[in-house]
Amino acid sequence: PARKKVELDPRFVNYKHVWVFIEAERGVVHPVSWELLGEGRKLADALGVELAGVVMGPPGERTRQICGEAFHYGADLCYLAQDEVLRDYRNEPYTRALTELVDTYQPEIMLLGASTLGRDLAGSVATTLATGLVADCTELVIEADSRNLASTRPTFGGSLLCTIMTQRHRPQMATVRPRVMAMPDADTARSGRIVEHKLAIIESSIITKVLEFIPDAQQDKPQLAFADIIVSGGRGFKKQENFQLVWDLAKVLGAEVGASRPIVQAGWVELDRQVGQSGKTVRPKLYIAAGISGAIQHRVGMDGSDVIIAINNDPNAPIFDFAHYGIVGNAMQILPALTEAFRAQ
Ligand code: FAD
């Protein structure tokens, strides 16, 4: 049935442009910000408006440099808010700063990464602004008729995709998980303009204080999201000792090890290695899925991979519906054979 047309609240008619929140902690930008600039560029072009990065952080050269990097990844301009209250991420000053920027410069669309920081910030900003937020989107398009942002995300445990629109309020907000969108190429010749915004937030008005900054001790935790090759194993391996075959193949290929959820739940590998809806989203050049059925909750985390090779003894396993190459056979025999073949090279 035709959708009932909903008019935009007249208070928001002047809201324009597409914004991407550039997430940086201690001067290190989360790559999801660049992925979102790539996506934001398409939305801005579809609307015929500018694409802006929002850079917030402590005073200093590094915070300003981040604007330059945002231009390389497609931003036309950057809103820059530098203040001591923004040194380390805290929800309250960041929410106040971002809502102040929104109220002042009025973006039509605002995208944030669905990282730990982005999820925390997006929720409180959307609540403060009383606007709509669609979390964990897998697709963002501008609807031709209404020019609204149509944000698609999995629902009902990943078995359905739903498309949600914020019709009466602005900005239209969405978060996207790292690696869901492709990384754009950086053009180091590109530049843009910086709009500096002076905040009026006083430290004594913020109820949380940073007492100490303790870097993540687990520096060597798996970097699945940005791996070029991943060898993933599933319940087809049956016993924990058989899962060693996945590690062996990964080692000769210089790959990361991934797993389906039952393997993580059984405690064979740590949670950081789970691929899928409730785990990591990955986009490697090569994804080898062995003994994995290809349930939708696994698929949504890996079907952006360039090449998927499935190894499964059931020729009707759903994974063969979307794998680029399939081997029907016993993973317990095929993996050691592949490991030997690559080792011999
Ligand atoms: P199975 O479905 O049991 O498949 C095992 C496969 O191995 C079969 O296809 C079988 O034919 C094959 N096999 C058996 N023996 C061999 C052999 N010797 N050689 C080769 N192949 C063999 N799952 C995830 O992976 N990630 C998630 O993030 C995730 N999130 C979820 C969130 C929700 C809300 C829900 C409800 C579920 C979630 N799941 C997730 C679980 C998901 O639905 C599946 O149950 C899970 O992915 C199945 O894992 P599997 O493929 O290893 O096991």
Q: pLDDT tens across 310-341, in order?
A: 999 999 999 999 999 999 999 999 999 999 99
* CA separation, residue 207 to residues 90, 93, 107, 123, 210 (Å): 10, 10, 28, 19, 10
> What ipTM did this prediction achieve?
0.99
Nearest-CA residue for ligand 1 atom 53 is 235
114-140 pLDDT, tens digit each: 999 999 999 999 999 999 999 999 999
- SS3 percent helix, strand, coil of the chain, rounded to 5, is 35, 25, 40
> Is 304 labelled a binding residue?
no
Hey, is 220 helix, strand or coil? Answer: coil
CA of 266 to the centre of ligand 1 (A): 12
Q: What spacing in Å lies between the alpha carbon of 78 and ligand 1's midpoint?
A: 44
Q: Is the CB of 278 under 6 A from ligand 1?
A: yes
Q: What angle do CA 188, 193, 198 make, to 5 degrees?
A: 130
Whether 214 has a binding-site annotation, put simply, is no
CA of 222 from ligand 1 middle (Å) equals 21
Average pLDDT over residues 261-281: 95
Do 71 and 188 form a contact (C-beta atoms < 8 A)?
no
Q: What pLDDT, on the 0 to 100 scale, is given for residue 1? A: 60
Say if ligand 1 is within 6 A of residue 280 CB: no
Ligand 1, atom 27: closest residue by C-alpha: 276
Whether the CB of 242 sits within 6 Å of ligand 1: no
